[in-house]
Amino acid sequence: INTILTSCEERGFGSIALPVLGAGIALRFPDSVVAKVLLEEVHEFEQNRNSRTPMLINIVIHPNDDDSCEVMTNTFSVRYFLSPSGKENILRVANSQKCLILQNQPHVARQNLTSGATFAEGGTTVASYSLLDGLQVLVCQGDITKLGADALVNAANEDLDHGGGVAAALSKAGGPQVQKESRALVKQAGKIATGDVVVTTGGNLNCKKLLHAVGPVAGKSGGRERALLEKTVQSALNLAEMFELESIAIPCISSGLFGVPVDLSMLDGMTSAITDVKPKSVSLIRIVILQQQVFQAFRSHINLTHAVTEGTSTTSAPQDATFLSFKPLPAVINVIACSRDTIRTVGRDLEGILQKQLVEREVDVHNFSRLEAMEVEAVQAKVRLLEISLEYKRSGNAARDRSVSGVDVYVLKGLKEDVLSVIELVNKAVQEALCEDLQSKEEAMLALNVQWLIQKVNGDWQELSLHDNFLLEEAHLKKQVSVDVTNIQGLTLTCVTSSLALEIPTHWDPMRDELFKKVQLQPNSTEYQHVAQGFLKMANYNIQKIERVQNFYLWNAYAVCRQRILAKNGQADLGEKFLYHGTSAESCNLIERDRFDRSYAGTHAAAYGKGVYFAVDANYSAGGFSPADTAGLKRLYVARVLTGRYTVGNRDMKSPPPRGADPTDCFDSVVNNQQPPSMFVIFHDDQAYPEYLITFR
């Protein structure tokens, strides 16, 4: 493709027509790959070409090639609605007689978006999400004061004193009329309560109404930030509905001066609010973010928690991959008969036959996080090929009622054999991942008792890797390894044995052949009193029960990690502490049987890194991070945590930073404050063990 485009430019051509190269019967590349490659090569060519003479590139799709048409249109129209320079749009031009053409033309707004979809000063629409039928949500990076919409939302304080942040910018752009009307409102009605929204005119702003939304302030809302934020967004949408407005632009409410973490603040509250409000007149919602660092954090949270229609051209790690919701076009059967009764009878019979052929299955979202990028693409390709409906369902509200597991799921609907074939594909990939995890645990457990070493030329002994150590010991036990000692030099082998295992705690109940056991402590026991006193010293709650978690594999994995940090740091810097971690009832089984996994732990905090968070103060974890179940019960773990050597973290960290010039010598954890820290973040799942589960109210 690059050669074709370069050759055309060298010959001075002003336009070119390309077929969908690579997707035919000869090369058989997937449509998604072809669309991605075409787009990237055209974009790279445009960025690197020397000539500034305009060149029109037409990609021509055969009218009968529906699959290529759909994939190509979606990829081009969403992935690069705006190029990074903000000067070129992708326009879909349909010719129903001959073909479908995608053209790269400057300064043309997409027809199915209202005016104002682009910013006047370089802002960019970066991603598009479909939450409900007919409703589109655009995530935009740019200045909200430059945006045109029926309603602009201002992140205001209770006094409507627009002196800082987004409020100051909107007030300045709108002129003195905005602050004047705001003061008049407060004088008449008093301070605006958190979660409420009031309306004024927009002054000089390009909007019909300016909605002043008072969001929650971090640390001053009693752990109710999420609920109050949902209420704020609902109030804004209800006002927009009341005025019959069609578009609304919302900044990252409470994430600026009010300090609410971005991953908690916007998208979760937005989707929940929209689900409850079910807007009829509002058809377009724009979430507008100005700061680059806030946008990056926000986009990361979207990628981890929501199924994306399609975003900008980004590459993400397999663990960040999200599935695309997909609904095939309906098959329409026209029934013609002489009477309505006959039509109803035939329709009922057809419906009955159809229901016998269709099946619906749920797959835990957590399972998809184990899939590699190529496996994700294979599942997506099969879903589209077989025309299976794939829909993301969040745990909560109606989705929770449908999901027997109570966790986020993907729902597959289609013909029975088709759905089961996709399930089989996913299960096979998950099974392979689980086998790899099990293999890693077995290798780690063996290394507790046996460690093979190899002597280097300088005489130093070097430990073999866990995997090589496992293979060598296994072969040795099977007597499959022999050493030739008949050479002239001779060879001496030294067997160094070491018992590194951290003993199973003596206070554990006998486990016999069990690998997992949960023991409820007696309130009058010394162990119960010790755990309870530590909790109640900082948290004023009523303890219902305390359970000890006994997991053989988790404990041994923790022991291996402990020995590693001990060997690296020494006893003085081992940093083994008892810390607190709040969680939901749904996550307990996952944590106790499979560890503190970052894919479902720490979802409410990312200010100091993308790891698992533990608090020194039990009251902190017992608040907003321990949601109550339907019976009003909350849950919190007392965990053993290996903090080791630590430093202050930041929200962009995915692992602890190096301690010095050596990139392999890293800190073991990060904290919110060096002296004294009140929160620790770990990035290695085996670095913490869930010792006790406290259930309280």
Residue finishing a domain among 441, 464, 486: 441
Q: What is the dihedral of CA 674, 677, 679, 682, to 10 degrees?
A: 50
**pLDDT score, position 2:** 86
Strand partners, 249: 152, 286
- Token readout for 625 is 């991070």
Q: Are residues 27 and 58 in the same domain?
A: yes
Q: Are residues 303 and 250 in the same domain?
A: yes
Q: Are residues 546 and 675 in the same domain?
A: yes
Report residue 196's pLDDT band, with 50, 70 and 90 as the boundaries: confident
In sequence order, which residues have a C-beta less than 8 Å from that of residue 512 and are 6 or more positions away?
none
pLDDT at 667 over 50: yes
Domain count along the chain:
5
- The strand pair at 88-94 and 15-18 is best described as unpaired
Q: Which residue has the higher pLDDT, 271 or 638?
A: 638
pLDDT digits (tens, 9 = 90+) for 552-594: 888 988 988 898 899 888 988 999 999 999 998 888 988 888 8
Q: Which among 211, 204, 241, 235 is positioned nearest to 151, based on CA atoms?
A: 211
Cβ neighbours, 10 Å, residue 15? 11
pLDDT digits (tens, 9 = 90+) for 32-91: 788 888 877 887 777 777 766 677 787 777 767 767 666 666 555 433 333 333 323 333
- Which of the given ranges, 35-39, 159-163, 217-221, has the highest pLDDT on average? 159-163
Asked, for residue 396, whether it belongs to a domain, the answer is yes
Asked, for residue 92, whether it belongs to a domain, the answer is yes
**pLDDT score, position 463:** 84
Asked, for residue 111, whether it belongs to a domain, the answer is no
Burial class (CB in 10 A: 0-12, 13-18, 19+), 1: middle
Q: Are residues 590 and 645 in the same domain?
A: yes
pLDDT digits (tens, 9 = 90+) for 125-151: 555 555 555 577 777 777 888 888 899
CA distances from 675 to 579, 615, 621 (A): 17, 14, 20
Residue type, position 374, single letter: M
Helix (H, G, I), strand (E, B) or coil at 156: strand
Helix (H, G, I), strand (E, B) or coil at 158: coil
Q: Are residues 543 and 462 in the same domain?
A: no
Q: Are residues 669 and 574 in the same domain?
A: yes
Q: Which residue has the higher pLDDT, 118 or 438?
A: 438
Residue type, position 146, single letter: K
- Token readout for 10 is 């060298």
CA terminus-to-terminus distance, the chain: 64
C-alpha–C-alpha distance, residues 474 and 392, integer Å: 44
Residue type, position 107, single letter: H
C-alpha–C-alpha distance, residues 628 and 224, integer Å: 12
Distance of alpha carbon 399 from its chain centroid, rounded? 18
Q: Please tell me the chain's helix, strand, coil percentages from 3-state DSSP, rounded to the nearest 5.
A: 35, 20, 40
Asked, for residue 136, whether it belongs to a domain, the answer is no
pLDDT digits (tens, 9 = 90+) for 315-357: 333 333 345 566 676 677 888 888 888 988 998 898 888 888 8
Q: In this structure, what CATH number is given to the domain that contains residue 176?
A: 3.40.220.10
C-alpha–C-alpha distance, residues 170 and 251, integer Å: 11
In sequence order, which residues have a C-beta less than 8 Å from that of residue 583 and are 6 or more positions away?
591, 601, 625, 626, 635, 636, 637
Strand partners, 549: 518
How does DSSP assign 18-39, residue by residue?
A: E--TT-STTT---HHHHHHHHH
C-alpha–C-alpha distance, residues 411 and 329, integer Å: 17
pLDDT at 678 over 80: yes
**pLDDT score, position 402:** 42
Q: What is the mean pLDDT of the chain?
A: 75
C-alpha–C-alpha distance, residues 157 and 182, integer Å: 11
| DSSP tally for the chain: helices H, then strands E | 19, 26
Q: Look-up: residue for tokens 């069609």? A: 246
In sequence order, which residues have a C-beta less than 8 Å from that of residue 671 and are 6 or more positions away?
608, 646, 647, 648, 649, 677, 679, 680, 681
Q: In this structure, what CATH number is given to the domain that contains residue 629?
A: 3.90.228.10
Looking from the CA of 684 toward its CB, the CA atoms found within 13 Å total: 20
Asked, for residue 121, whether it belongs to a domain, the answer is no
pLDDT digits (tens, 9 = 90+) for 276-290: 667 778 888 888 877
Q: Which among 87, 13, 101, 95 is positioned nearest to 43, based on CA atoms?
A: 87
Q: Are residues 373 and 307 in the same domain?
A: no
Q: Are residues 263 and 231 in the same domain?
A: yes
Q: Which among 681, 603, 690 is positioned nearest to 648, based on CA atoms?
A: 681
Asked, for residue 134, whether it belongs to a domain, the answer is no
Structural domain range at position 468? 451-496
pLDDT digits (tens, 9 = 90+) for 499-553: 444 567 888 988 877 889 999 999 999 999 999 999 999 888 999 999 999 998 8
- Which of the given ranges, 215-219, 455-459, 549-553, has the highest pLDDT on average? 549-553
- Contact at 8 Å (CB) between 390 and 410? yes
In sequence order, which residues have a C-beta less than 8 Å from that of residue 614 and are 6 or more positions away?
579, 580, 581, 621, 639, 641, 679, 680, 681, 682, 688
- Contact at 8 Å (CB) between 436 and 311? no
Q: Are residues 487 and 570 in the same domain?
A: no
- Token readout for 216 is 């929650």
Asked, for residue 156, whether it belongs to a domain, the answer is yes
pTM check: above 0.75: no
Residue finishing a domain among 419, 441, 463: 441
Q: Are residues 525 and 668 in the same domain?
A: yes
Asked, for residue 118, whether it belongs to a domain, the answer is no
Q: Which among 189, 196, 188, 200 is positioned nearest to 162, based on CA atoms?
A: 200
Q: Are residues 632 and 526 in the same domain?
A: yes
Helix (H, G, I), strand (E, B) or coil at 634: strand
Q: Are residues 163 and 41 in the same domain?
A: no
pLDDT at 400 over 70: no
Q: Which among 432, 422, 323 is positioned nearest to 382, based on CA atoms?
A: 422
Q: In this structure, what CATH number is given to the domain that contains residue 430?
A: 3.30.1370.10
